[in-house]
Amino acid sequence: MLTASVLFIVILAVQSDTGSAGPSTSHYYYAARLIGALLVATFVPLLIDRRARRVARL
């Protein structure tokens, strides 16, 4: 479920239409897309690792 949700967000972020975005907004769109992808790539493995460490301690 978590993976599916994250995947959905990533695809949405990458696919969002920027055709109407002017030059001033394209910077923010690109930055937001990149930051979103970086947050996903950072926190998905981090959260799974936290859970794995907790389970391994039990």
Partner 1 sequence: MYIGHVAAALAAKRMRPSIGLFALLVATYTPDWVDSGLCLARVSNPSGMLSHSIPAVALFALIGFTVYALRTRDWTAALVVAGVILSHMLLDWITGDKPTWPGGPMIGLKLYGHPIADFIVEGVLIVIGVALYRRTFRPGRTPWTEVSLMLGALLALQLGIDIAHIMMESLPKC
Residues that bind partner 1 (CB under 8 A): 2-4, 6-7, 10-11, 14-15, 18, 26-31, 34-35, 37-38, 40-42, 44-46, 48-49, 51-52, 55-56
Q: How far is the CB of 48 from partner 1 (least distance, A)?
A: 5
AA letter at 54: R
Q: How far is the CB of 6 from partner 1 (least distance, A)?
A: 7
DSSP string, 9-52: HHHHHHH---TT--HHHHHHHHHHHHHHHHHHHHHHHHHHHHHH
Q: How far is the CB of 30 from partner 1 (least distance, A)?
A: 4
